[in-house]
Structure 1
């Protein structure tokens, strides 16, 4: 599957792992609950690890572990919930997270510019045919009135 990362379309190297699936090698992403339960095993295995965050999760639960996490995936289950915008801002602004923050799922393509302003640097839309639209939307505005997180 392809994603946008740092304004370039690339192949995704991360495989989402279900909470009950055996740990595998390679780059994987797990739920916050799985991270909390299997942290040591996840850190001991080969490959990068990412954590999937839902709108109801708190990124403060990850604050002490961010240096070990390569990807924070913001799981947009529906486009009407804006709490993940705040989660992205907290990751960059309060916790100074330097890794990949990825918006994944059901967000509006029109929101991508604003997601990038709060720290999201990768996009995985629910429909891959939206990749080019998202890429174009990242350059929607040439003048910005408010400061961004980066």
Structure 2
């Protein structure tokens, strides 16, 4: 009994000392945490959110139906301003420039082989032979 009690007490003391130093390290790390850490902790805990039973009150004059015509008028005004702006007009040579860019890209790809058979028959046979393992492909046929 004495032989097991002393090692158990020694191990318990070592664990206690090790845990106490790790708690101090964790506490130090929390104290040195960046600014966003406390906000994230509150978010994870679920604190600071409104309750579902709390119904927000709408201020007078801000009812959803009353603000839609005003936003529609604002969109119409912005659309008219955009249409009247000189920068919104397409340049006279716009389509020609777009076609020139398309032709330049096509010429870059002109040197490539367009066929889907980009491997030669010899390369295909070499790939098939690399996967041909006789003990697997032929050995199973003879066991039946």
TM-score by length of 2: 0.12
Structure ranking higher in strand proportion: 1
Higher relative contact order (CA 8 A, sep 6+): 1
> Which entry has the higher C-alpha Rg, 1 or 2?
2
Structure ranking higher in helix proportion: 2
TM-score by length of 1: 0.12
